[in-house]
Structure 1
Amino acid sequence: MFDSEKVAQVSEAKAKWQENSLGKVLKKAPERRSEFVTDSGITMNTLYTPDDVADLDYARDLGFPGEYPYTRGVQPNMYRGRHWTMRQYAGFGTAEQSNERFRYLLEQGQTGLSCAFDLPTQIGYDSDDPLSQGEIGKVGVAIDTMADMEILFDKIPLDKVSTSMTINAPAAVLLAMYIAVAEKQGVSPDKLTGTIQNDILKEYIARGTYIFPPAPSMRLITDIFAFCAEKVPNWNTISISGYHIREAGSSAAQEIAFTLADGIAYVQAAINAGLDVDKFAPRLSFFFNAHLNFFEEIAKFRAARRLWAKIMRERFGAKNPRSWAFRVHTQTAGSTLTAQQPNVNIIRVAYQALMAVLGGTQSLHTNSKDEALALPNEESVLIALRTQQVIGYEIGAADVVDPLGGSYYVESLTNQLEAKAKEYIQKIDELGGAPNAIEYMQREIQASAYRYQKGVESGENVVIGVNKFQMKEEPPKGLLKVDPALGEAQKAKLKKVKESRDNVAVQNALARVRAAAEGNENMMPVIIDAVKVYASLGEICGVMREVFGEYRQQIIF
């Protein structure tokens, strides 16, 4: 892209500048650090010039937005056409409480719902299970049967709202409930838009809300791929998550690599199950973290798009350009929020949201200032939503596609992050793919997290309010607290549903779920039939537990 003779001239001039202008300054006063590095260990030069990207080929490495290799974005005009989907991750307590929060957010201009489920729901237990005690409604909404799902989406038109559900091991059951509720509203499955996370590999690697072993879990995922390709064509059947990998302590390069390695495993599993790659791949989506290193995070999105396009076209032979496109939802980094000086979190989140937008995200959730202390209250959620709206409507960041494209620094970071990610993926391939490399990825994440924490404790990594600029603070006020009595109310509601439903129909439906699990037919139709007669989440997952068994995590030191 650059004339080699001119690059050589720039390189020679840069060397003189380093020796003279820069050298004189450094003799008088040393720099703040002996070395500046990104979270991925990439050395940051003092200055970037064309010689740092001398090998860049515009057509090969950048191209144009909406075209291979998608480095500059997945849509030709990006946010000039329409803004990213503005979501706020919400859900707590009962379905009634969460419905009220959903409707409030939609009234404030949110353009998509993002649903959090409580821990029992995430691991397939009903609220009346002894293992659910003390956790009902705490980190999300409690959903036991389709009756709860009906309340959760009451007066919310599911043909007009896109819904993202952070659910993994029991994703098939929650999706079945959503489809059934939509049908009761008169909305056919082909009109539904949204996403289920449905990413079990990252649960084994970094998060922990798994139920079944890898093989049956992968079968459930490919069953969802096949069912939705035919019946729910506008639904994103998986959100392959780097977010939780990053929250566990990975670097940006590891986030790219381990997420895409999981994506490779899902694509291969679907192909092995007999699915046509171009039938399901256009509905694959990703979920990334927006962390703290401003320029590295922007480059991360660009590198991931380019690398995924190459993987899909070259490795899997996908022909449909939509199969090559890396479509991503982003959430600002919860792990960077502090209980100390929580108002500073507003600033952190604003910059992280801007990184995601400059990186070209398709959907965005902004964390609330009080999330290091409690579930967010209405005021803090509104500030978080308004942060997105200011970026989208007021500051001009959404008016040009890939505005930092061509920056010597950003292009250099993009290239180096892609190279580092490819090295990790090659290692994972050598280990037999992501399902066989779980322990390797865990060790790499732990090492990265340890390095960062050492930096915090030494003061090299500054965290405002934690290891620098501390101050005395009053105890926080106005925090949202979930009423402990809620658990008993939820159990009473579940008891009433179980007493009033047709229990013969439930037992027959659960028997069909068992037969399908023991055989090889697609699980989705029988699960949908089961939720329609109000079989509970715990009952359906209980049957599958008996057939599939449960995963036991290996402890890695």
Structure 2
Amino acid sequence: MSKPVFTDSGIEIRTLYSKENTGDIKLEAPGEFPFTRGVQPDMYRGKLWTMRQYAGFSTAEESNKRYHYLLSQGVMGLSVAFDLPTQIGYDSDHSLSEGEVGKVGVAIDSIDDIEALFKGIRLEDVSTSMTINSTAFILLSFYVALAKRQGADLKKLTGTIQNDILKEYAARGTYIYPPKPSMRIITDIFQWCSAELPKWNTISISGYHIREAGSTAVQEIAFTLSNGKAYVQAALEKGLDINVFGKRLSFFFNAHNNLFEEVAKFRAARRMWARIMKDLGATDPKAMMLRFHTQTGGSTLTAQQPLNNIARVTMQTLAAVLGGTQSLHTNGYDEALSLPTEEAARIALRTQQIVAFETGAADTVDPLAGSYYIETLTKEVEEKAWQLIEKIDAMGGSVSAIEQGFIQDEIARSAYQYQRQVENHEKIIVGVNKFQVEQETPIPGFRIDDSIREHQVEKLKKLRATRDAAKASASLETIRQRAIANENLMPSVIEAVENYCTLGEIADVLRGVFGEYK
């Protein structure tokens, strides 16, 4: 008798799945509620997923070169990575920015930087995803101000801001303000974009970082959908129409190595979100659809034998495609060593293109549907995720569950258990705890020079010396007054960036009103 086998979520995998031990399988059509089989009737036969490559490093000028390279190689949409100071609302010349400027993403301090970042790229012609949360409203304002400079029709702009602050408290840590004012800023964005940027995805509710922090597949969708529910409830309390803003919600999930559990996770998440939105009052099917971007799992990639990561990323790409993603970023094989080199970024993109054009995976809708294994696993993932959501609801929802530390504790427990399994050889990681080599072939890494900070500081000095100081000061005071009066912040922030106020100055004004979360 063979020993039991379990997924990382603790779901036991049977030796055999058949009609006798799973029962009849009932499937609705793709493109129909509850969208288990996909959000479009023809899925990739009609349109392939958007192939993105997440990129951003050093200065705006250097990142711009990488964007043009990626576009020349067949990327369909840009995905911007910002450095840590930009993510937490500090200009490059702030003392806390030292050693971090341009390191994990691009440094953006002002509208001049965003203009350099997109030089030679018409914003009306490209879909842009921005991985930014606590300062998302400022980066969106920079983007809108640049689009206006380019003469773009704002009604045609497409893209996404991540804008998911709840997972920052639970898993990632790049928050500024306490949860309640942070939620208020997010609903301001929902409200403003509904009228002014109707095609823009106003939030990408992110399970990716929850998974990177150590959660299981089940926890990833349970915590992400609970966060999504909290955002919807906050928007409803503000009087927004769920059938309008619901269409502009998107999700961001991770793809890990267990191909079948990942496919089941994506299918279960769609089904669950459709039911959550229906229960919250949505009547338009498009407001019930879970549309999502996927990124392959950075935490699954190893510094040991890094070329093995190409195989891992390929399997994760296949999981995302078989699971019905709308957009995909594939990680470079050197992810565990450094920011991706140009070669690694190209191989990652080629992986998507090979899956799209050579494997047949995109030729039919939901290719694994009807499999006794996949349908049972989808059902079991869903059941376990509902159990977690019910616990969170009993605590008063995601915000309360985060404030009580429940979500953080659950993730930490799963991360610890996984690490123990690796150390005890219960879980094999090829090249790490089995099949090692005595001597590794060195892989050239991508390094960022510390002199970038000096370059950014000089740009900031010049900007502050040449801008209209009175206009900048008045703009910042308007933001402060609107924050106190609980008025929508977006118009005043856009005006401020057009008057050359910096990201750090705007974030500081709101620190003065809302305080900082500790």
What is the CA-CA distance between 1:477 and the residue it aligns to? 3.7
Q: Does 1:267 align with 2:216?
A: no
Q: What aligned pairs does 1:62-211 form with structure 2 within 5 A after superposition?
A: 62-211=27-176
Cα RMSD between the aligned structures?
A: 0.9
Deviations 1:184-219 (A, max 9, x none): 111021111000000000000000000000111000
CA contact (8 A) 2:304 2:440 kept: no
How far did 1:478 drift?
2.5
Distance 1:488 1:123 in 2: 20
Q: TM-score, normalised by structure 1?
A: 0.92
Shift of residue 55 of structure 1?
5.8
Amino acid at match of 1:100: K
C-alpha offsets along residues 502-557 of structure 1, whole Å, 9 cap, x if unaligned?
111100000000001111111000000000011000000000000011111xxxxx
Show the counterpart of 1:545: 511
5 Å-filtered alignment, 1:374-453, equals 374-438=338-402, 439-453=405-419
Equivalents in 1 of 2:335, 2:296: separation in Å? 12
Range that drifts further, 336-345 or 471-480: 471-480
Tell whether the 8 Å contact from 2:317 to 2:330 is kept in structure 1 after alignment.
Answer: yes
Q: Match for residue 23 of structure 1?
A: none
CA distance in 1, matches of 2:412, 2:148: 45
- 1:386 Cα deviation after fit: 0.2
The answer as to 2:4 corresponding to 1:35 is: yes
CA distance in 1, matches of 2:344, 2:319: 21
For the residue of structure 1 that corresponds to 2:294, the secondary structure is: strand
Q: What do residues 475-524 of structure 1 show as CA deviations (whole Å, max 9, x unaligned)?
A: 62431100111111111111111111111110000000000111111100
Please name the residue that 1:515 is paired with: 481
Deviates more, 1:87-96 or 1:470-479: 470-479
What is the CA deviation profile of residues 83-123 of structure 1, one whole-angstrom value per residue up to 9, with x for unaligned ones?
10000000000000000000100000000000000000000
2:275 aligned with 1:310, yes or no? yes
Query: Is the 2:260–2:374 contact (alpha carbons within 8 Å) kept by the matching residues of 1?
Result: yes
Instruction: Give the corresponding residue for 1:284.
Output: 249
Give 1:294 deviation, angstroms: 0.9
- Size of the aligned set, in residue pairs, is 516
Contact 1:241/1:286 (<8 A) preserved: yes
Q: Greater shift after overlay, 169-178 or 442-451? A: 442-451
Contact 1:52 1:408 in 2 (8 A): no
Amino acid of the residue matched to residue 84 of structure 1?
W
User: Shift of residue 400 of structure 1?
Assistant: 0.6
- The one-letter code matched in structure 1 to 2:350 is R
Larger Rg: 1
Residue in 2 that maps onto 1:11:
none
Distance 2:21 2:230 in 1: 34
Alignment of 1:213 onto 2:182: no
Letter in 1 for 2:481: A
Looking at structure 1, the residues matched to 313 and 65 of structure 2 have their Cα atoms a distance apart, in angstroms, of 25
CA contact (8 A) 2:31 2:38 kept: yes
Report the Cα offset of residue 394 of structure 1.
0.9
CA distance in 2, matches of 1:478, 1:420: 43
Write the mapping of 1:352-371 to structure 2, written as runs, cut at 5 A. Answer: 352-371=316-335
CA distance in 1, matches of 2:189, 2:305: 44
Quick check: 1:482 aligned with 2:475? no
Tell whether 2:212 aligns with 1:247.
yes
Letter in 2 for 1:258: F
Poorly superposed stretches of 4+, deviation over 6 Å: none
1:47 aligns with 2:12: no
Residue 297 of structure 2, aligned match among 327, 333, 341: 333
The one-letter code of the counterpart of 1:235 is W
Q: Aligned-pair distance for 1:402? A: 0.1
What amino acid maps onto 1:269 in structure 2?
Answer: A
Determine the C-alpha separation between the residues in 2 that align with 1:344 and 1:473: 15
Contact kept in structure 2, 1:86 and 1:364, CA below 8 Å = yes
Question: 1:395 is aligned with what amino acid?
Answer: T
Residue 50 of structure 1: CA displacement?
Answer: 1.4
In 2, the alpha carbon distance for the partners of 1:474 and 1:244 equals 30
How many Å separate the matches in 2 of 1:402 and 1:251? 23
Q: Give the Cα separation in 2 of the matches to 1:216 and 1:291.
A: 34
Task: Report how far residue 35 of structure 1 moved.
Answer: 1.3
Q: Tell me, yes or no, if the aligned pair for 2:183 and 2:231 is still in contact at 8 Å.
A: yes
Report deviation, 1:446: 0.9
The alignment partner of 2:112 has SS state of: helix
Quick one: structure 1 residues 379 and 432, their matched pair in 2 at CA, closer, same or farther if it must change by over 3 Å?
same
Q: 2:222 aligns with which of 232, 257, 262?
A: 257
Give the match's secondary structure for 1:199.
coil
**Structure 1, gaps ≥5 residues long:** 1-25, 553-557
Residue 422 of structure 1 aligns with an amino acid whose one-letter code is W
